[in-house]
Amino acid sequence: MTERLSEGQQAPAFTLPDSTGKQISLADYKGGKVIVYCYPAASTPGCTKQACDFTENLALLNDAGYAVLGVSPDKPEKLAKFITEENLTFPLLSDVDKTMMTAWGAFGEKKNYGKVVQGVIRSTFVVDEQGRIERALYNVRATGHVARLIKDLGV
């Protein structure tokens, strides 16, 4: 079973390429709050809905002091296409070998149509200014998740 992160725990460090190949680290966001969400695959219906919801609410989240990062196992080229096609306005990071997602408990056993499979567990994390996990949400639904997160954060 994949070990999950819990509130108050130090967020595991990572450095991943974005859609342009630029290396982005969690440490780049120290001193500010960041929402890191992990999703299975760019350009799929649920992942598109979730990414578009974050884009539509990005100004609100940014004004409340939150940056947003999306992480998937897609290659940077696929992320670049996804960003262009959907007019996304925040960084998407590539975790092809799933090292970051495994460390964060967002990759492992999950149920898919009643079968137990290995895969990305749709998850969202809120990391505080000191790099600690403020919220760790696993098995979130793509639809309505961003609205619920905004409500829960009091934004």
Nearest Cα neighbor of 64 from 25, 33, 41, 42 is: 33
- Residue 115 buriedness (CB in 10 A; 0-12 / 13-18 / 19+): exposed
- Active-site choice (11, 47, 51, 100): 47
User: In whole angstroms, what is the distance from residue 7 CA to residue 5 CA?
Assistant: 7
User: In whole angstroms, what is the distance from residue 85 CA to residue 28 CA?
Assistant: 27
User: In whole angstroms, what is the distance from residue 57 CA to residue 54 CA?
Assistant: 5
- Who contacts 127 (Cβ-Cβ below 8 Å, separation ≥6)? 11, 26, 29, 33, 34, 35, 36, 133, 134
**Residue 47 annotated to the active site:** yes
DSSP SS3 for 27:
helix
Residues noted as catalytic = 47
